[in-house]
C-alpha cells in the first residue's frame, strides 16, 4: 500500500537561484526497499536522490541513502549538504547545536552550520596515488586532452571511484567535449586554474558515466577529495572557491576551507526550491 511522505527539492552550491545542483530528498524512507529507492532515483532523473531515515548509530542525527539513476553510492557531497538542509527545515534537531552527524554507507560524516551555510568534513580517501598509465591513456583519449597538456593526475577516491586530471588552465577545462568510448565506466574530474586574482581559483568538471551521469553539474565529493590532494601537496594553503557547472549553464560555487586540525571543509549555498509530498 502506498503512503505520502514529505519531499523537498534542494538547489545546492550556488548563490544564484536554480544555478546549482538539484537534489531530490525523500524525508521519510522507512519501509522502502532498495529496489523502490532505485526506481524513484531513475524517475527523478537527477544526478542524485536521497532517502532519509532514523540512524542506527546513536551518535548520528539521521541516516541517509544516496542513489544515482544508475545505482547507489556510499557518499556524495551535494546530497550530503542538500539532505542536511532539508532535514533541518523539516524540524530536524541535531544532538549538538551547529553540528550535524550524518550516517551513510561510507560511515559517519560531520557537518557544521556557519554564517548561514552548511559545510561537510571531507571524508578520508580510500584510494590515492597516480592513475595507471593504460587507464590514464584511455581517459585522456575520451576527454580529448593531448598527453602534453596533462599537468598532473591522481586517484582521489572517497567512495564513488573518483580520479582527477589537472590541466594548465580553466579554459582548457571549459573546452572539453568528452566521448567515453574507451572508458565507459569512468568516474573522472578535470580541473584547471583561473588566472591569479580571479574570483574563483579553479574550474572543475565531473564526468560520471559509470553511474549513468554524463556530467554532474556541481560535485561536492569530487571537490572534497581534490581539495585534500591540493592542500595535502601544498599547492593550496588557504580558503579558495571552485567554479563548476559553467558548461551546463549553472553557477556552482564550492567553498573550500582548510581547518587548523587538517580537516578540509566543503560548503556552499543551499536553498529549497520545491517542497511538498511524495507518494512512495
Alpha carbon distance 51, 59 (integer Å): 19
Here the cell at position 42 is: 531513475
Three-state DSSP class for 226?
Answer: helix
**Any idea of the CA torsion for 240, 218, 158, 117, to the nearest 10 degrees?**
60
Q: Which helix (H) or strand (E) holds 65?
A: strand 62-68
Here the cell at position 68 is: 544515482
What is the residue whose three cell numbers read 532539508? 86
| Contact of 47 with 77, CB cutoff 8 Å | no
Active-site annotation holds for 172: no
| Contact of 110 with 101, CB cutoff 8 Å | yes
Here the cell at position 200 is: 574563483
Of 182, 137, 191, 133, which Cα lies nearest the Cα of 162? 191
Alpha carbon distance 15, 2 (integer Å): 36
Helix pair 220-232, 77-89: axis angle to 10 deg? 120
Catalytic (active-site) positions = 48
Amino acid at each position: 500500500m502506498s503512503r505520502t511522505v514529505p519531499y523537498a527539492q534542494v538547489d545546492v552550491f550556488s548563490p544564484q537561484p536554480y544555478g546549482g545542483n538539484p537534489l531530490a530528498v525523500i524525508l521519510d524512507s522507512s519501509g522502502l526497499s532498495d529496489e523502490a529507492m532505485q526506481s524513484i532515483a531513475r524517475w527523478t532523473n537527477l544526478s542524485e536522490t536521497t532517502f532519509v531515515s532514523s540512524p542506527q548509530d546513536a551518535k548520528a542525527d539521521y541516516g541517509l541513502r544516496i542513489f544515482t539513476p544508475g545505482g547507489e553510492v556510499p557518499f556524495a557531497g551535494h546530497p550530503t549538504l542538500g539532505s542536511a538542509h532539508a532535514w533541518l527545515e523539516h524540524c530536524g534537531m541535531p544532538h549538538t547545536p551547529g553540528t550535524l552527524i550524518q550516517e551513510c554507507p561510507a560511515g559517519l560524516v560531520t557537518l557544521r552550520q556557519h554564517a548561514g551555510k552548511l559545510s561537510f568534513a571531507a571524508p578520508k580517501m580510500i584510494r590515492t596515488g597516480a592513475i595507471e598509465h593504460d587507464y590514464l591513456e584511455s581517459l585522456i583519449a575520451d576527454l580529448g586532452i593531448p598527453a602534453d597538456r596533462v599537468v598532473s593526475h591522481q586517484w582521489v577516491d572517497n567512495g564513488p571511484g573518483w580520479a582527477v586530471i589537472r590541466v594548465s588552465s580553466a579554459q582548457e577545462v571549459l573546452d572539453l567535449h568528452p566521448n567515453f568510448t574507451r572508458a565507459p565506466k569512468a568516474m573522472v574530474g578535470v580541473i584547471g586554474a583561473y588566472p591569479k586574482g580571479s574570483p574563483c581559483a579553479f574550474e572543475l568538471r565531473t564526468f560520471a558515466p559509470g553511474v549513468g551521469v554524463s556530467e554532474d553539474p556541481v560535485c561536492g565529493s569530487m571537490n572534497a577529495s581534490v581539495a585534500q590532494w591540493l592542500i595535502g601537496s601544498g599547492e593550496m594553503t588557504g580558503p579558495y572557491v571552485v567554479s563548476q557547472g559553467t558548461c551546463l549553464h549553472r553557477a556552482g560555487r564550492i567553498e573550500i576551507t582548510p581547518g587548523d586540525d587538517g580537516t578540509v571543509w566543503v560548503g556552499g549555498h543551499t536553498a529549497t526550491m520545491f517542497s511538498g509530498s511524495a507518494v512512495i
